Amino acid sequence: MTKTVAILTATLMVAALLSACSGFQESAAEPISYHGSGDVVEYHSNGKIKRKAEYLNGELVSVVDFYPSGKEKSRENYTMGELQDATYYFASGRVKTRITGK
């Protein structure tokens, strides 16, 4: 019985660790392409906004990603197609990482 509890506890600890670290292995999302000016919005299956990209004359200006809960996941600002600054958030709303201009 004790051996079973120890194995179960170890399995749960590994699962929790993998879950906590998964945010560091996120792959970049597929970029949205738009040739005009305005906002392009994608939605999660629950109806909440997943991503909102702002374009000006076909140039990407900003991208804001959201968790399925509706909380902000990241905010990126671009100039002439190059990332200028960004802020990435944990699901709790705390700042995970900030990247500032060149």
Q: Where do we find the tokens 């000006």?
A: 56
* Residue 96 burial class via C-beta count within 10 angstroms: exposed 0-12, middle 13-18, buried 19 and up: middle
pTM here is: 0.66
Instruction: Specify the number of domains making up the chain.
Output: 1
**Domain range for residue 98?**
32-102
Per residue in 60-89, pLDDT (tens digit) is 999 999 999 999 999 999 998 899 999 999
Position 5 in a domain: no
Asked whether residue 4 is domain-assigned, the answer is no
User: pLDDT (tens digit, 9 = 90+) per residue, 14-65?
Assistant: 344 344 444 433 434 555 567 789 999 999 999 999 999 999 999 999 999 9
Is residue 20 in a domain? no
Q: Is the pLDDT of residue 9 over 50?
A: no
Q: Percent of the chain scored above 70 by pLDDT?
A: 66
3-state DSSP helix/strand/coil % of the chain, to nearest 5: 25, 40, 35
